[in-house]
Each structure stands twice: as C-alpha cells, then as structure tokens.
C-alpha cells in the first residue's frame, strides 16, 4: 500500500514533522485491537488509496439488554504518541451525520468539495488525540432505533449508555474525555458533557474540556440570526452584492424591528444587563407591513446575484462544487459519474460494518419526537447558556467557543451576543472587548508542494498570519476565525488545529 505523506504535529510548543508512515502493520500490534474490537476493525475503504492505520467503525447498542437502538461510530486512535484521552465529535442539524466531519473536516484523510479523490489531512485531529465520531442522536445516519426523545437530557442519556459500552468494548478506563462539535451540536456538546459531569464517575466520564464551532448555545433564530444579520450584510456587501433598494429596506427594517437598538445596547463589554427572552416570536409589525424575519429575507435574496450561494461559506462562488456526500450547500449536488453518495454505497457500508438496509444521507432524522419546543424541532430543553454551559465552564476551565466570519447560518455577532447573555464565574458576559490577535504560525503542509511545483514556493508561508481574535475570561476561550465558514476544520484547518491544542491543554493561548 502507498506510504503516507509527512504529517505535522505539535504538542505544546514543540513542532516536528512526522516520518513517512510505512505500509500497514499487523493489526494485532495496534493498541486497541482485541477479540472484542476485531469485528469493528476497518481493513480498507473503497477509493481511499491510503493506509488507514488503526481504524474501527460499526454500531454499538445503547443498552446491553436492548440491541434495537444503537449508535454508529468511527474511531481513529492518534497517530502520535499514545494518549489516555478520547475526543468525541458531533455534527449538528439536528439530524446531520458526524461522518461529514470524519470525511471532510478533521479525520486522517479528507475528500471535500470539488475534489476528484481523497487526500491525506495534514492537520488531522488524530495527530493529537484519539478521535471518536458518533452519529448522534438516534435517527441520524446509521444510528438506528425508535426515536422517542423530546429533550437533550434524554438523548444525552442514550449517548451515555452507548459510550460506556464503547469503552468497555475497547478496554478504555480512566481516560480524559473531551466533547466537541459544530452548529446544533452547540446544544448536544453541553448536555452530554453535563450528563458526564453529574455522574462523578472519572473511570468512564472524566469530562475535561469542550469545543463548539458556530454553535447554537443561545436563542439562535433571533439572537443568532435576525438581530445581527443586517450588520453582517453591510460588512460583507461586496461578497453578497444585494441591490441598493433591498439594502435600504433591510436597514430600515433593522431599525423598525428594534434590532439596531438591541444589538447596540447589549453588545457591550461588560454587558449592561441580561437580555430579554425571545419567546413570543418576531416583533409584531404586521400592521405596518414590515417583515422582521430579516435573516430569511437575506437568505432568499442572496441566490439571485450568486446562484451558487452557500449559506455556510458566503465567499463561495460558481461553479457549484461536487460533493461525494452530495451536500456542499443547501443546493444538494454531485457531478455525474461520482458513483452516488459515498456512505450509501454498498461496498462502503460493507467495509465500515454499517447497517446494509439503511438509506444513508448526510442529513436525515427526525431525532426528536414531535415538533414542540421553541424551535419547532421537538427539543424541549433550555438553551445551554441558561445553566449547564456556565456550570461546565466553571468546572473544566477549558471551554472554547468559536465562530467563522463567513458563516451566515450562525453569525459571529450572534454567538457573541449569546455569550454576553450568559453568567459564569460570578459575572455576566465578557468584561472586556475581545481584541487579542490569533497569529497562525503553523506551516502550509496541505498545498506546499503545489506552490513549489508551480514556481511559487514560499508565497504560502512561513506561517498564515493573523487569522482571528481570541479572548479568555474565567475558563471560557472565545475565538473569532477569519476567512472561515460554518465548518471551521474544513475551511481553516490550521486555526482549528490550534483550537484543539488549547482544549486538550497542550498550549495556553491560540
């Protein structure tokens, strides 16, 4: 098999390039390989022409006494020195698969948009830690069973059952546990972490840190989208190119609906007061004919000047890039001849020990029963900023929240507004304005050879430069990521690598 390319890893302040990995060694030499884990061992994956190293996937039941409800996982132990920790990743949705992150964000190889085939990921999180991607909750992808949950507490209890069974299967005890994810996983991550914290069981649930990208931690429809959307459009006017008439209407509505006063008053450091609850719908302006659902208006208008508009990365332009998972944006698309959705292929299911009778798609569901709750998704739980996230920050002192500046789905200012409405460590919000730059000094290992072969060697380095803003107070690290969309490990892998290093305690600042 082909030898692996050199990979970069960094532990603490020590940087080095790993040697080329040799052809796959005997599976019995792997750390987690045993009679119990052998059925999950992945020998190879179709069209992935790399040595997979130690990799496992399959389903594990939530309860040892009931195999009808189970969760699908991919487990890739670290390629560096062994560590006694597991980093769990969830995608959001609700209803979207963590196989997307495994395949296109932070796994050992990536097969992203517009790519003819997979390449090795030089900034794979497996350089640092043992990675576990889980299709969560039940109802997502290959995680099958009756969907009955109406709260985050119930889905977290399901995960706890799965995760303890996973650890028993793989002989894992007394490991530090880190929970990470993006988007709607801004709700999953704190609730699962809180469930672990409440057990006081460090043998299986030693929760040690959290990481959330572009997360739904507060009221994301109003605070996360509608209130800050007009300033976002103004800031990115050249990218979105909305016509002058529409912009004037947006700006007038921003004032008329009260969003301008709301953002200017509450986006202060320190915040002047707790924000009022958005529990009665949009401001009622029906008599005036003003539509206060401004985010939806922007979303719909953005497709006219740019038919290839991507809500997850507004810098995207035409053509629409093919996706092996057929979900590059809200426009689901794949080039003819790609062979169909990768994880729905029979040969891929067989290779990964996946249920053969499941028709896999990147986003499926439902994962909650009914349509109750403040978002109409069946999720009755409170927003994490109200109670459980502050508790976790106070306990771990290792919680990172980051937002990408090119993300229209969850806006950077919206996430900051949610943080400014959260009380932790005895104070409301950040007390001082985030301003410290993030200087990414990691080299470009992903495209360095392309630059050199093109006669442009060196233009992509030595580092990446200032790629964001960081701010730390009372156990919470905030990161604003420049030139990134919703899926930060996909769009800015070097920045995300630093984020993970901080959460794992390898570095003290970003």
115 occurs within a structural domain: yes
Considering 320, 338, 356, which residue would you say is the last residue of a domain? 338
In a domain, 363, yes or no: no
* Claim to verify: residue 227 and residue 206 sit in the same structural domain: no
> In this predicted structure, what is the pLDDT of residue 287?
57
- How many whole angstroms separate alpha carbon 277 and alpha carbon 429? 16
In this structure, is residue 356 part of a structural domain?
A: no
Residues 123 and 239 in one domain: no
Which band of pLDDT confidence, cut at 50, 70 and 90, is reported for residue 11?
Answer: very low
pLDDT above 90 covers a percentage of the chain that reads: 82
Q: Is residue 8 in some structural domain?
A: no
* Greatest distance between any 2 Cα atoms in the chain: 73
Residue 177, strand partner residues = 86, 207
pTM: 0.93
Question: What is the CA 33 to chain-centroid distance, rounded?
Answer: 28
Q: Pick from 319, 338, 357: which residue ends a domain?
A: 338
In contact, 212 and 402? CB cutoff 8 Å: yes
Per-residue pLDDT tens for 404-420?
A: 999 999 999 999 999 99
pLDDT tens digits for 175-189?
999 999 999 999 999
* Secondary structure element (H or E) that encloses residue 168, with its range: helix 152-170
DSSP string, 444-463: --SSHHHHHHTT-TTTT-S-
What is the per-residue pLDDT across 25-75, written as a single tens digit (0 to 9) for each? 556 689 999 999 999 999 999 999 888 999 999 999 999 888 899 999 999
C-alpha atoms less than 13 angstroms from C-alpha of 394 in its C-beta half-sphere: 13
Q: Count how many domains the chain has.
A: 2
With respect to residue 3, please indicate whether it lies within any of the assigned structural domains.
Answer: no
Please name the helix (run of DSSP H) or strand (run of DSSP E) that holds residue 415, with its range, or none. Answer: helix 412-419
The rounded distance, in Å, linking the Cα atoms of 110 and 499 is 19
Same domain, 211 and 230: no
For residue 234, give the 3-state DSSP assignment.
helix
One domain for residues 195 and 322: no
Tell me: do 189 and 330 sit in the same domain: no
Asked if residue 143 and residue 86 are part of one domain, the reply reads yes
Do 230 and 210 share a structural domain?
no
Q: What is the mean pLDDT of residues 208-226?
A: 95
Same domain, 177 and 230: no
In a domain, 402, yes or no: yes
Of 293, 322, 338, which residue sits at a domain end?
338
Q: Which domain holds residue 333?
A: 223-338
CB 181 within 8 A of CB 209: no
Q: What's the pLDDT score for residue 56? A: 98
Residues acting as catalytic residues: 183, 407, 486
Select from 102, 50, 100 the least CA-distant residue to 76: 102
Range list of H helices, 281-345: 294-301
Q: Are residues 419 and 491 in the same domain?
A: yes
Is there a single domain that holds both residue 232 and residue 187?
A: no
CA distance 202 to 396: 13
Q: How many CB atoms lie within 10 A of CB 448?
A: 15
In a domain, 231, yes or no: yes
Is there a domain that residue 344 lies in? no
The verdict on 62 and 144 lying in the same domain is yes
């Amino acid at each position: 098999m082909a030898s692996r390319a050199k990979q970069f890893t960094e532990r603490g302040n020590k940087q080095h390039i790993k040697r080329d990995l040799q052809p796959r060694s005997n599976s019995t030499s792997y750390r987690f390989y045993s009679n119990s884990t052998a059925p999950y061992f992945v020998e190879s994956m179709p069209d992935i022409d790399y040595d997979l190293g130690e990799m496992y996937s399959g389903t594990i039941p939530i309860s040892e006494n009931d195999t009808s409800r189970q969760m699908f996982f991919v487990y890739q132990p670290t390629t560096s020195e062994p560590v006694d920790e597991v980093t769990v990743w969830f995608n959001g949705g609700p209803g979207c698969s963590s196989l997307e992150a495994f395949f296109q964000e932070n796994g050992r190889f990536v097969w992203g948009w517009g790519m003819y085939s997979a390449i090795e990921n030089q900034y794979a999180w497996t350089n640092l830690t043992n990675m576990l991607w889980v299709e969560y909750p039940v109802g997502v992808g290959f995680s099958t069973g009756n969907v009955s949950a109406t709260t985050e507490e119930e889905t977290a209890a399901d995960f706890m059952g799965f995760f303890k069974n996973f650890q028993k299967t793989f002989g894992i005890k007394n490991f530090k546990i880190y929970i990470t994810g993006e988007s709607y996983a801004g709700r999953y991550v704190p609730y699962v972490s809180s469930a672990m914290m409440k057990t006081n069981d460090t043998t299986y649930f030693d929760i040690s840190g959290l990481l959330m990208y572009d997360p739904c931690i507060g009221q994301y429809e109003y605070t996360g989208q509608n209130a800050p959307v007009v300033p976002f459009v103004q800031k990115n006017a050249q990218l979105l190119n909305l016509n002058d008439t529409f912009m004037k209407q947006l700006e007038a509505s921003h004032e008329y609906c009260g969003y301008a006063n709301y953002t200017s008053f509450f986006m202060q450091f320190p915040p002047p007061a707790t924000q009022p609850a958005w529990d009665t719908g949009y401001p009622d302006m029906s008599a005036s004919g003003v539509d206060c659902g401004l985010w939806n208006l922007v979303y719909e208008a953005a497709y006219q000047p740019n038919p290839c508009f991507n809500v997850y990365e507004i810098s995207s332009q035409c053509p629409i890039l093919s996706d092996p998972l057929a979900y590059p944006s809200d426009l689901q698309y794949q080039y003819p001849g790609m062979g169909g959705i990768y994880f729905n292929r029979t040969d891929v299911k067989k290779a990964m020990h996946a249920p053969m009778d499941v028709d896999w798609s990147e986003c499926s569901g439902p994962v909650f029963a009914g349509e109750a709750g403040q978002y109409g998704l069946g999720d009755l739980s409170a927003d994490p900023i109200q109670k459980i996230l502050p508790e976790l920050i106070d306990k771990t002192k290792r919680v990172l929240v980051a937002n990408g500046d090119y993300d229209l789905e969850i806006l950077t200012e919206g996430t900051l507004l949610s943080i400014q409405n959260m009380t932790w460590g005895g104070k409301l919000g950040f007390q001082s304005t985030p301003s410290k730059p993030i200087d990414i000094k990691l080299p470009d290992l992903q495209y360095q050879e392309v630059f050199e072969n093109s006669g442009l060697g060196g233009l992509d380095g030595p580092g990446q430069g200032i790629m964001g803003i960081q701010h730390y107070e009372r156990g919470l690290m905030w990161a604003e990521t420049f030139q990134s969309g919703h899926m930060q490990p996909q769009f800015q892998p070097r920045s995300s690598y630093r984020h993970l290093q901080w959460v794992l305690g390898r570095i003290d600042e970003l």
